[in-house]
Structure 1
Amino acid sequence: MYKDLLFIEGTHQIKSRKTTKKYISALLEMQFLIYNARTGYYLIKAFDKIRSMQHFKTRLAFPIGYQNYNKLDAVTGAVLYGYLHKDFWRKVKQKKSVQIKGCTYYFPKVNFNYKTQLAPVSVYGLKQIFNIPIATASRLKSAAKSEHYLKVKTNYEKISSDKAFIMNKVDETDNLRYKNGKYYLQLIDTVCPLFYFIKRKSLE
């Protein structure tokens, strides 16, 4: 047991045994871990048991292995933006078209694979839906992009200097950009997952 803790702490660069115990206590409290008093070992509950305990409604899952288990920002960003990408195209398919900030998106009926298409997903959307600060939502997106889980396209609309002057006048400059002597309005980033969700089995 002692050697196992040392291995975990070394692998994850945990400097304090107090920190390790805090993590273990938190997982025990959430009932994700079970302590076997006879062997002195902790057992991790199967994921489907955790799904049942937490009443997870969705079957969508993101594969996590040794190569990415410690890249939580990238994985979290991939899951959140990937899910909202899927949800966006689901709504477009139901309504046939969706308009967002002057842009209209259509769902063609023939040979259209939404999984390879960009979709507008705003950091403000993540804030509203998941109660995530905008700075955190932006960081998660950047992390997912860096790990090649997410394709991100930054979009701009060219505007007149008169409109830019008015925006400066009323202090609405958050999305105003000045490049090469011209003014642009930064639009919602469009994203596309570079991975596929897998589906877990249905819970009985």
Structure 2
Amino acid sequence: MSGIILLVWILLIIRVINRTSGKHASILDSLVIMGFGVWFTYQEGWIYMLITLLVFLLDSWMSSPNKNHRYFAFISFIILVASIIFGVSMTLNIPSFLNRLILLLISILFLLQISASSRIRSFDDQGICRLESKRVRVSQLMILITGLSIVFLGNDYGMMSMIPLWVAISGVSVYRLIIVTGKYLSL
């Protein structure tokens, strides 16, 4: 599986949830996400279809829902069940102790960042509407869940292909930590 394609898929699923483009995902966007989800499920395991299902469900349940995603969620559910029934296997991959420790630290810092991002000041790509705080926070949580799922339920290559994602998560978390620490130290 190509790490770049996997990262593109993650960017697409996050874009669906946080709506940074300012628009609902088009049917073509949803078909691409579904197609990648099916392909990754076939290549690596059913966790990818579970993530695809969650993305479509979340977007169809949050404010200003994309009603088409209810249908995509239903199709994802059928594919997920079929992949489990017909034996798409998953194996638990336990990273080394040091990697688990690093992932734990990064995850804790990122969860603190998610909980602290209650007010979003950023605008969508069109510069018209502010991004919804709830959607941004849910997308951040989905990034963390996706990254951890791929590390623990994917193969070693999946873990290595996630390094750019973990660097980005670390960067956001450390930046937030520096900002908060700077505010307290300047008092």
TM range (shorter): under 0.3
TM-score normalised per structure 2: 0.26
Greater fraction helix: 2
- Which of the pair has more CA radius of gyration? 1
Task: Determine which structure has greater relative contact order: mean sequence separation of CA pairs < 8 Å that are 6+ residues apart, divided by chain length.
Answer: 2
After TM superposition, the score normalised by the length of structure 1 is 0.24
